[in-house]
Chains A and B, each alone.
Chain A
Amino acid sequence: MHKTIIAALALAALSFSADAETIQERAVACFACHGEHGTSETENTPSLGGQQAPYALIQLFMFREKLRVFEPMNEMAKPMTDDDLRTFSDFIATLPKPTPPTEAGDPARMARGQALAQQNRCNSCHNTDFSGKDNVPRIANQREDYLAKTLAEYKDNSRHGYDATMADVMQTVAKEQIGDLAYYVAHFR
């Protein structure tokens, strides 16, 4: 069922791209899963708001080239030209970034997550506020389930990064620590 919907959306995106539509019109297909205002409400699906454009471009490129495998996104990106990829990644960066939660997270989990983030120097590339820079993504207030899933995929090398950095970083992060790390980054204020 879920798959059918996504396939239909992918088809819709295909036919959209044939016409000279504005990026806002073309992005409707993205919003269906990723949320209209940059914040996703769909399980395991990332919020795109405020994402670094160079990072978004790399991901769209990797989906198109099937270097990153997720069928609905591979289908979406398939017909895109290089200019399409640039247009979409620039547009994604203009969406409002996800808002931090109004309430502080569970103090024990936040403390453990913060310690892990410091040990592994997440702040070196992702910035001290986790807003990312250039090819390094914004992760602040990203969906917790998506963060945990992604960290686990980097750890078992089922998601190949553009370069090797995250595979290396995750070598000594224990599986059991991923939950706290994701919780902390998702609830960061």
Chain B
Amino acid sequence: MKKHSFAPRSLLLAGAMLGAFTLSAAAQQPAAAPAAGAAPAAQPLPPGSPLIGRPDNEAAAKLAPVAPPPLPSAPDKLPLAKLKVPAGFNVEVYAAGMANARSLALGDKGTVFVGSRLVDKVYAIVNKDGKRSVKVIASGLYRPNGVAFKDGTLYIAELSKVSKIDKIEDNLDNPPKPTVIYDKLPKDEAHGWKFIAIGPDNKLYVPVGQPGNNVLHDADHGQIRRMNLDGSGAEVYALGVRNSVGFDWNPETKQMYFTDNGRDWLSETVPEDELNRVTKAGEDFGAPFCYQGNIIDQELGWGKNCKDYTAPVGLMGPHTASLGMRFYTGSQFPKGYKNAIFVARHGSWNKSQKQGGDVVVVKLNKDGTAKSMEPFLTGFLEDNKYVGRPVDVMLLKDGSLLVSDDWNGAVYRVSYGKPKVANQ
């Protein structure tokens, strides 16, 4: 009965739409255009589609990107009891209730800034009189994943622009709106969200990912740019970068290291995500032609040679989504961790048996290449399902390590020695 009552309306509508489309299509495409609504025979997937390159089999068809729950977990529902750290280390909840908590930045006065990707907010974890609280300091932003802090100013990277708030820590209760400093950025959704950081050269580093899984693109994509802190003087610093969501500088050599996510669908075991080192401006790291330093892409790599690109200094596992990374420059952890790199691996979606979903520690050889990779914070992956997903890592002044988790909207703190409450 119900169907009868709406059928005529929807038929009418369909008719009207079909008519309109036919007319407009005919008007715009005079010659050899296909009939309106006709499906061209072998149309490729859209450039940004995560399904590009998907093999046609049942196991592959089950895999799709995993979206986190929208609501942050209540503090008592966090998976804290499941998390494991090496002997002598402790893990605690530092702050909770921040939906989709992503990248981390530390203010001079101890405020921790937290970006987000799937909501519109930047949070501040404020330490005052020995108490911690969470404030929203900016909202209405579009995919504000990246945050960086320098000399009192907070920098925020949205999908296609970078803005700043001066003297942020003096205005946490009533912060002014961010002021845009740079917006000459593409607007692609795929790999468009940004991690940002400020280098030892006092420049702001801003990545622009490749706009899809495995695509040829123009000169505005697939790179890391750097610019002055007012947004001027932007230049391309690194090329052949597929999607970097974390970087830091070696405290000894001052060289930039960055993680890069390998392409999907090539296989369950390769390519591995990369840990790269930039030794000079303008280096090319190979994507989308060469992955992990030794795999020529089966589709786009014809006529290319991996020797023409800078190979990674370390491999981070296939599809593990290695994101935030920082060198350990603190003194709280045992000596073996000095100048090692902590890397947050968000965890795979493009693998039947999920891998990653942890924080690992990468120790380096004297020549700056990776010597070892060991698990550090684990337990986020349970029965091939995520109970949490690490995104970024960051040191506090006391040498303890913060870890953000966008699945639960929380930040954890890992410390070494006799457990005590965070104190900066």
Contact B67 A145 (CB under 8 A): no
A164-B192, A169-B49, A179-B17 known; A39-B2 Cβ under 8 A: yes
Instruction: List which A95-143 residues lie within 8 A (CB) of chain B.
Output: 99, 101-102, 109, 112, 115-116, 119-121, 123-125, 134-136, 143
Contact A162 B118 (CB under 8 A): yes
CB-CB nearest in chain B for A126: B64
Residues of B within 8 A of A15 (CB): none
Indicate which residue in B37, B71, B142, B190 contacts A86 across the interface (CB closer than 8 Å): B71
Contact A57 B189 (CB under 8 A): no
* A176–B118 CA distance with the chains assembled, in angstroms: 30
Q: Does B253 contact A (CB under 8 A)?
A: no
Q: Does A75 contact B (CB under 8 A)?
A: no
Instruction: List which A36-62 residues lie within 8 A (CB) of chain B.
Output: 39, 41, 43, 54, 57-58, 61-62
Q: Does B6 contact A (CB under 8 A)?
A: yes
Contact A101 B48 (CB under 8 A): no
B116 to chain A, nearest CB (A): 11
Residues of A within 8 A of B61 (CB): 123-124
Q: Does A22 contact B (CB under 8 A)?
A: no
* A115–B46 CA distance with the chains assembled, in angstroms: 15
Contact A183 B3 (CB under 8 A): no
Contact A177 B13 (CB under 8 A): no
Q: Does B18 contact A (CB under 8 A)?
A: yes
Q: Does A30 contact B (CB under 8 A)?
A: no
Residues of B within 8 A of A109 (CB): 37
Q: How large is the interface on B (under 10, 10 to 19, 20 to 34, 35 or more residues)?
A: 35 or more
Contact A101 B3 (CB under 8 A): yes
Q: Does A156 contact B (CB under 8 A)?
A: no
Contact B50 A165 (CB under 8 A): yes
Contact A170 B46 (CB under 8 A): yes
Residues of B within 8 A of A61 (CB): 70-71
Q: Interface size on A (CB < 8 Å)?
A: 54
Contact B120 A65 (CB under 8 A): yes
Contact B49 A168 (CB under 8 A): yes
Q: Does B5 contact A (CB under 8 A)?
A: yes
Residues of A within 8 A of B5 (CB): 41
Contact B13 A57 (CB under 8 A): no
Q: Does B353 contact A (CB under 8 A)?
A: no
Contact B64 A136 (CB under 8 A): yes
* A58–B65 CA distance with the chains assembled, in angstroms: 15
Q: Does B295 contact A (CB under 8 A)?
A: no
B5 to chain A, nearest CB (A): 6
Q: Does B51 contact A (CB under 8 A)?
A: yes
CB-CB nearest in chain A for B49: A168
Contact A144 B2 (CB under 8 A): no
Q: Does B134 contact A (CB under 8 A)?
A: no
Q: Does A163 contact B (CB under 8 A)?
A: yes
Residues of B within 8 A of A7 (CB): none
Contact B38 A112 (CB under 8 A): yes
Q: Does A82 contact B (CB under 8 A)?
A: yes
Q: Does A189 contact B (CB under 8 A)?
A: no
Most chain A beta carbons < 10 A, residue from B18, B25, B189: B189
Q: Does A85 contact B (CB under 8 A)?
A: yes
CB-CB nearest in chain A for B117: A163
Q: Does B39 contact A (CB under 8 A)?
A: yes
Q: Does B10 contact A (CB under 8 A)?
A: yes
Residues of B within 8 A of A102 (CB): 3
Contact B65 A121 (CB under 8 A): no
What 1/0 flags go to B37-62 for Cβ under 8 Å of A? 11100011111111100100000010
Q: Does B9 contact A (CB under 8 A)?
A: yes
Q: Does B24 contact A (CB under 8 A)?
A: yes
CB-CB nearest in chain A for B142: A160
Q: Does A4 contact B (CB under 8 A)?
A: no
Instruction: List which B104-154 residues lie within 8 A (CB) of chain A.
Output: 118-120, 142
Contact A121 B10 (CB under 8 A): no
Contact B10 A143 (CB under 8 A): yes
Q: Does B14 contact A (CB under 8 A)?
A: yes
* A58–B50 CA distance with the chains assembled, in angstroms: 21
Q: Does B69 contact A (CB under 8 A)?
A: yes
Contact A176 B21 (CB under 8 A): yes
Residues of A within 8 A of B36 (CB): 176
A124-B51, A124-B61, A144-B10 known; A119-B39 Cβ under 8 A: yes
A41-B6, A163-B118 known; A119-B190 Cβ under 8 A: no
* A97–B10 CA distance with the chains assembled, in angstroms: 19
Contact B67 A168 (CB under 8 A): no
Contact A43 B50 (CB under 8 A): no
Contact A162 B70 (CB under 8 A): yes
- Top 4 A-B pairs, shortest CB-CB distance: A164-B189, A168-B48, A171-B46, A61-B70
Q: Can you list 29 pairs linking A and B with CB atoms under 8 Å apart?
A: A43-B9, A57-B70, A58-B67, A58-B70, A62-B70, A65-B119, A65-B120, A67-B119, A101-B3, A119-B43, A124-B51, A124-B61, A136-B64, A144-B10, A144-B13, A145-B13, A148-B17, A162-B67, A163-B67, A164-B190, A168-B47, A169-B46, A173-B46, A176-B21, A176-B24, A176-B25, A179-B21, A179-B37, A180-B39
